[in-house]
Amino acid sequence: MTQGYLAVTILFSAIALFILGYNLPRVRGLLTAIGFYMVMTGIFASYSNWLPQTRGEVPPVIKMDIGAIDTMPTDKLSEMGETIIFGKVGGFAERGIGKGQCPLCHTFKKGDIGDRAPNLIGLGKRAAERIKDPKYIKADFVSTESFKGSGRATTAEEYIAESHACPACFVVEGFGTKGTNDRDSPMPVIHKPPIALSIEELIAVDTWLWYREGETPPSPKEIRAAYEKFIPEADRPKAAVPGTQAAAPPGPPIVLASDTPDQIVAKMGCFACHQIPGIALAKFGAIGPMLIEGYNAPRRIASAEYQARVKAGKAHAKTPKEYVMESIVDPNAFIVHQFAQKSNPLISPMIQDFATKFTYGGLEKIADYLLQQNCDTAKKDNLPGPPQENFATVCGGAAKAVSAP
Amino acid sequence: MKAISKRMRVWSLLSLGAVATALLLSLVMPFFSSPVMADEATKAATEAAPKVEMAKDIYFKTEGPVSGQPVPELKATDYPSYNLPYPLSENRILIWSIAQQHLYFGSFVLAVPIFCMIIELVGLLTKDPVMSKKYDDLAHLLVKISLTAYSVTAILGGLLLFSFITLYPDFFKYISSLFRPVMHIYALLFLAESGTLYLYYYGWDRMAHGFAKWVHACMGVLLNVFGSVLMMLANSWASFMMSPAGVDEKGRYLGNIWAVLHNALWNPLNVHRIIGNMVFGGGIVAAYAAYKFLAARNMEEKAYYDWMGYIAMFMAVGSLIPLPFAGYWLMREVYGFRQQMGITLMGGLLAWLFIIQAVLIGALFFSTNYYLFNGMERMRGAEKYQKYIKYILFLTTAAFLVWLTPHTLVMRPAELKAIGGQQHPVIGNFGVMSAKNGAVNTMIMTTIISFLLYQRSNKIITVKWEAWGNAALMAMFAVALVNNWWLAIYGYFIPANVRVGLSVPQVVGTLTTLFIGSAINIAMMRGSKLTGLIEWGKISVRSQYALFALAVSFTWLMALMGYIRSSVRLFWHVMEVFRDNSPWAFTHTIGFAANVMSMNVMAFWLFVLFVFWLGELTSKHAVAEARKEAARPVMAGGSE
């Protein structure tokens, strides 16, 4: 490693200065002092050169050039899609989460089991089969069309586009909102806030879904036509301006103390699973409990199940605030039994890496907010709660709301 | 020195304070135009312009009128280059080196006035006229040294400015469009500081007595006020690049300069730099004194520079104690701003640089202890404490070895296979934070013990409660050390989020030994019999090399931490707003960075040698008197 030579040269130069100083008594002090400085510097430089040497490369810029989408090479379009789904090129291997937030619920690798949403492996082929499925043709779901007159999917790309634009138009068995008999979907509409992917971004996402399995994806024009079929013009979000990065949505990717509760819920995707009073986005989540922690948290801590976890050394909260914070950063500490995964009851279905996505201040902020929520605030927002633990079960009936302790 | 009334002292302080406030307010006032005028301006603007585009501040999340251009999207060809041979072909290496030299000298000239202010004040408050003059002369000499350094700082600042304009024109245009008013204020403050510095230095002899001396001392305060504000303004440019605020996601200025200045990392950086400057300045003065000691031709000179070296070392190490806390705050805010930045620093690309930092900090502790051990040689009666040195050294070395053990080892593939992973089964355990906290607190405590022993080296304690005092000290250190080690071990068995909290009782234990231990030690030394006075100058030559080691470690440490702070932006000029599209936007390897740092360190010390030599040309007569007085032996401990 040639760069290490400089450090060694400094050390040898120091020795040369010592020898010179020994032979030149009049400047010995000066040369020895300089030599000593060089010895010290040389040691530090040598040590630094001995350590592992890694160069930090610059990731390629991925641009959302609306005009170029239709002519962009498939591999580039696929990279853009991977970035939107997983945060960066290569994010699939690292199981990252990008702007699209898809990995919050879906799995993508062979053998991975998703409890909240289907594994998307082989989606292209499956989509082509699904549109012929009698359950799809004779749909019995809360929505039967994306919008009045949109019609149903006739091709694989249209099926995927419809799934994004109208998740409740077809619900895969076992993945519906609990208590709806798989007639409604817990999935958010992808082109609407908070995810709000543009059609161009959705084209990239769909391209990746085919391309990563070595299949030829439909052309961008075909995918665009599919989305335009299911998203009315007024609802189409504007694509990012040319020059901005597709996977770098404005604002910090983590929760800061300066964020509002709405921003925190939007950033972390809490709305996908939870209903939270006072948060406009979080009205439909049905995978996790309704977050009325002013009411729930003290009861959870006092419960025998929680105390058993404390005894086992798995849970540590002593106050409601500690409970809420623990639930976020260590979701496996205690899992409310109605919401445990059948396949793995010891692992919470909740995202496991929130501990790396919250600043302490941000965590306190959302915990404080959730602790202000109770049956009254839930009633005010007419939140039904998830089927596993609905409002009536928790608060004793929608008609007679219970005040927080 | 003629005695003056307390009333006059108060008046002098108040009047100087008023001058400083008035000057600073006049600079700040333009930021706060009156509401009426603002309303009129808004009204006029509304009438004139059909529509004002509003955008959201990326940090403060407030809305503001778009008042500037977005960041330019640069291409590789937008970075003019001199086509110099590698590595100077990278513009950033030139900027890095010039900025580093400017910062080195800037730190020195900001730190020296702080020392001068303190030393002059100590001189003023010292009742012994001989010692009072000795301190005063030392402060005067330090200002003299810093005068040349001040000019060098200004020249390097100009060079840095031209380098930015010529090598990074688009970046500089953008930054100056945001900081335009701040830059002018910076220049005006520089003028004010220069004027005050010259008055302070050239007025030294004319304002040597009575009320005038107090006015002079207050001028030292004013000088430091200007210097600190100057530094804070410059810090805002660097902190903005790391944690932008006051602009929207496209980098457009939103009309509020305070938001741009007061970004997330500004204040932590300000505090960290002020303390860091003091540590660094102390290190340079100590090195200067050490060199002069080695070059001294008679005992008087040796005594003077030995004393000067001790004072400088004491101030540097004293300032070093709060520095980790300021660093912790800065790092906490970095994590708060962008967790990803924190991870890049502590667990990602730049994590190995903190192992180098550990080595440098270890070198600082060893140098300080070694100097104090040698310093005991100046005092008769110190022999009784020298037997403890080997134990202190053992503990410090053991802690140092744990402190620098990395979590993962540098290994060849065959070694990796033999061990079965990157973590060694035994010493790999020392790589975690729990062990590091225990190790660093142990090193701090052994250094405190060295200092307490040094303080009592030439004294026979006569207080009646000596046995109780010693028992209390020993118990305190024993409890603090056992508490520290126990918590370090306990940390292995609990989750990380709980473990983080253990550092608090560890630090509390260490600080207790420092403050309460020093207080007990000083109380015990009251009325003690002297076994001999400190014989300044009678110290080994080796000890002076410990001061050199201290200085070069500080210099390297400053280069390293500056590099870490700057390179954490990775490929961004302004984090996540203004992308660096130059051909050299990647992050160099540690070795390359270390080579540049080493060259910068050596270049700086050659510069310093030149500056000291220049100062030497005229200072020979000025300090002759002081040296004679310095040869007088004094008591050990503290500053005397």
Q: Which residues in B lie closer than 8 A to residue A38 (C-beta atoms)? A: 602
Q: Which residues in B lie closer than 8 A to residue A36 (C-beta atoms)? A: 545, 548-549, 552
A85-94, B415-424, B576-585 — most confident range: B576-585
Q: Which residues in B lie closer than 8 A to residue A256 (C-beta atoms)? A: 336-337
- Which of A255, A373, B431, A145 shows the shortest CA–CA distance to B421? B431
pLDDT at B331: 86
- Which of B204, B293, B323 shows the shortest CA–CA distance to B547? B293
What tens digit of pLDDT does each residue of B319-366 get?
Answer: 888 888 888 889 888 877 876 787 778 766 788 888 899 889 889 999
pLDDT at B5: 62
From A252, which residue of chain B is nearest by alpha-carbon distance?
B338
Q: Is residue B86 part of a domain?
A: no
Virtual CA dihedral for A354, A203, A241, A282, nearest 10 degrees? -40
B631 pLDDT higher than 80: no
B470 pLDDT higher than 90: yes
B16 pLDDT higher than 70: no
From B594, which residue of chain A is nearest by alpha-carbon distance?
A45
Give the pair of three-digit tokens for residue B533. 């006075």
Share of chain A above pLDDT 90, in %: 25
CB contact (8 A) between residue A258 and residue B552: no
Contacts of A244 (CB under 8 A, 6+ apart): A63, A64
Q: What is d(CA A310, CA B463) in angstroms, rounded to the nearest whole number?
A: 53
A38-52, A108-122, B132-146, B429-443: least confidently modelled range:
A108-122
B63-77, B237-251, B618-632: least confidently modelled range:
B618-632
Q: Provide the 3-class DSSP secondary structure of residue A122.
A: coil
The band of B203, judged by pLDDT with boundaries at 50, 70 and 90, is very high
Which ipTM value was assigned to this complex? 0.82
A324-328, B246-250, B420-424: least confidently modelled range:
B420-424
Best residue in A28, A41, A357 for a mutation probing chain B (most B CBs within 10 Å): A41
pLDDT at B62: 87
B191 pLDDT higher than 70: yes
CB contact (8 A) between residue A359 and residue B336: yes
- Which of A142, A384, A363, A122 shows the shortest CA–CA distance to A261? A363
pLDDT at A57: 74
Burial-class residue A258 by CB neighbours within 10 Å (0-12, 13-18, 19+).
middle
The band of A91, judged by pLDDT with boundaries at 50, 70 and 90, is confident
Q: Where are the alpha helices (DSSP H) in B203-338?
A: 210-242, 257-261, 266-295, 299-320, 323-337
The percent of chain B in helix, strand and coil, each rounded to the nearest 5, is: 75, 5, 25
- Average pLDDT, integer, range B603-628: 73
Q: Is residue B277 part of a domain?
A: yes
pLDDT at A296: 92
Q: Is residue B384 part of a domain?
A: no
The band of B416, judged by pLDDT with boundaries at 50, 70 and 90, is low
The band of B35, judged by pLDDT with boundaries at 50, 70 and 90, is very low
First to last CA, chain A: 67
How many independent structural domains does chain B possess?
1
A218 pLDDT higher than 50: yes
The band of B131, judged by pLDDT with boundaries at 50, 70 and 90, is confident
A141-145, B274-278, B305-309: least confidently modelled range:
A141-145
The percent of chain A in helix, strand and coil, each rounded to the nearest 5, is: 50, 0, 50
Q: Which residue range(s) make up the domain with B257?
A: 97-338+586-640
Shortest alpha-carbon distance between residue B608 and chain A (Å): 12
pLDDT at B337: 84
Other C-beta atoms lying within 10 Å of the C-beta of residue A196: 16
What tens digit of pLDDT does each residue of A240-257 get?
Answer: 444 333 333 333 356 776
Q: Is residue B25 part of a domain?
A: no
Q: Is residue B357 part of a domain?
A: no
- Average pLDDT, integer, range B587-592: 91
pLDDT at B626: 54
Of A44, A329, A357, Cβ closest to residue B594? A44
Q: What is d(CA B398, CA B587) in angstroms, rounded to the nearest whole number?
A: 34
Give the angle subtended at the CA of A211 by the CAs of A207 and A214, to the nearest 5°: 160
Shortest alpha-carbon distance between residue A256 and chain B (Å): 6
Q: What is d(CA A398, CA A376) in angstroms, rounded to the nearest whole number?
A: 10
- Which of B114, B141, B108, B438 shows the shortest CA–CA distance to B283? B108
Q: Is residue B67 part of a domain?
A: no
What tens digit of pLDDT does each residue of A362-382 get?
Answer: 788 898 899 989 898 888 888
Q: What is the mean pLDDT of chain B?
A: 85
CB contact (8 A) between residue A250 and residue B58: yes
Q: Which residues in B lie closer than 8 A to residue A250 (C-beta atoms)? A: 58, 249
**What's the 3-state SS for B589-632?**
CHHHHHHHHHHHHHHHHHHHHHHHHHHHHHHCCCCHHHHHHHCC
Contact B304, B542 (CB under 8 A): no
Q: Is residue B500 part of a domain?
A: no
Q: Which residues in B lie closer than 8 A to residue A328 (C-beta atoms)? A: none
What tens digit of pLDDT does each residue of A245-302 get?
Answer: 333 333 335 677 667 788 788 778 788 788 999 887 787 777 889 999 999 999 999 9
A157-171, A287-301, B37-51, B219-233: least confidently modelled range:
B37-51
Position with higher pLDDT, B519 vs B32? B519
The CA-based diameter of chain B, rounded to the nearest angstrom, is: 86
Shortest alpha-carbon distance between residue A224 and chain B (Å): 28
Q: What is the mean pLDDT of chain A?
A: 82
From B541, which residue of chain A is nearest by alpha-carbon distance?
A29
Q: How many CA atoms lie within 13 A of A178 on its CB side?
A: 20
Q: What is d(CA B1, CA B9) in angstroms, rounded to the nearest whole number?
A: 14
DSSP code of residue A386: -
Give the angle subtended at the CA of A238 by the CAs of A237 and A239, to the nearest 5°: 115
Contacts of A313 (CB under 8 A, 6+ apart): none
From B296, which residue of chain A is nearest by alpha-carbon distance?
A29
Q: Residue A79 CA to chain centroid, in angstroms?
A: 18
Q: Which residues in B lie closer than 8 A to residue A317 (C-beta atoms)? A: none
Among all chains, which residue has been given the structure tokens 């839930």? Answer: A378
Contact B140, B622 (CB under 8 A): yes
B165 in contact with chain A, both atoms CB, cutoff 8 A? no
B19-23, B197-201, B268-272, B477-481: least confidently modelled range:
B19-23
pLDDT at B622: 53
pLDDT at B411: 59
Asked if the peptide bond before residue B30 counts as cis, ω within 30 degrees of 0, the response is: no
- Average pLDDT, integer, range A348-361: 75
- Average pLDDT, integer, range B228-255: 93
The band of A176, judged by pLDDT with boundaries at 50, 70 and 90, is confident
Q: Which residues in B lie closer than 8 A to residue A330 (C-beta atoms)? A: 495, 497
Position with higher pLDDT, B28 vs A118? A118
Radius of gyration of chain A (CA): 28
Q: How many CA atoms lie within 13 A of B7 on its CB side?
A: 0
- Average pLDDT, integer, range B279-305: 91
Q: Is residue B590 part of a domain?
A: yes
